[in-house]
């Protein structure tokens, strides 16, 4: 598996996976799946976009719930 952060890529083993995740590295598993670090930061633009979409979907959900009652 590989640990990736910025422009750094390290080949790691299972024993060091937790350590790299806690340091902010994303892990690409041997099967190709990506495991994101819990320290991953979302840009303010992406956050605002997702919050707007969330608000819109919540309003739509509420409207659909009221229509089904």
The per-residue pLDDT for range 4-58, each reduced to its tens digit, is 999 999 999 999 999 999 999 999 999 999 999 998 888 899 999 999 999 999 9
0.75 exceeded by pTM:
no
Within this chain, do residues 22 and 48 fall inside the same structural domain, yes or no? Answer: no
pLDDT at 58: 97
Within this chain, do residues 4 and 33 fall inside the same structural domain, yes or no? Answer: yes
pLDDT at 42: 84
pLDDT at 30: 95
Within this chain, do residues 49 and 33 fall inside the same structural domain, yes or no? Answer: no
Q: How many domains are contained in the chain?
A: 2
Domain limits for position 46: 41-69
CA torsion through residues 7, 10, 14, 20, sign: negative
Within this chain, do residues 31 and 2 fall inside the same structural domain, yes or no? Answer: yes
pLDDT of 61 > 90? The answer is yes
DSSP of the chain:
-EEEETTEEEE--HHHHHHHHHTT-EEE-TTS-EE--TT----HHHHHHHHHHHHHHHHHHHHHHHHH-
> Up-side HSE of residue 62: CA atoms within 13 Å toward CB?
6
């Amino acid at each position: 598996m590989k640990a990736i952060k910025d422009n750094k890529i390290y080949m790691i083993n299972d024993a060091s996976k937790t350590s790299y995740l806690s340091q902010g590295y994303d892990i690409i598993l041997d099967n190709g799946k990506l495991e994101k670090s819990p320290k991953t930061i979302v840009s303010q633009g992406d956050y605002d976009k997702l919050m707007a979409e969330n608000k819109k979907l919540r309003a739509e959900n509420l409207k659909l719930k009221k229509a089904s009652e």
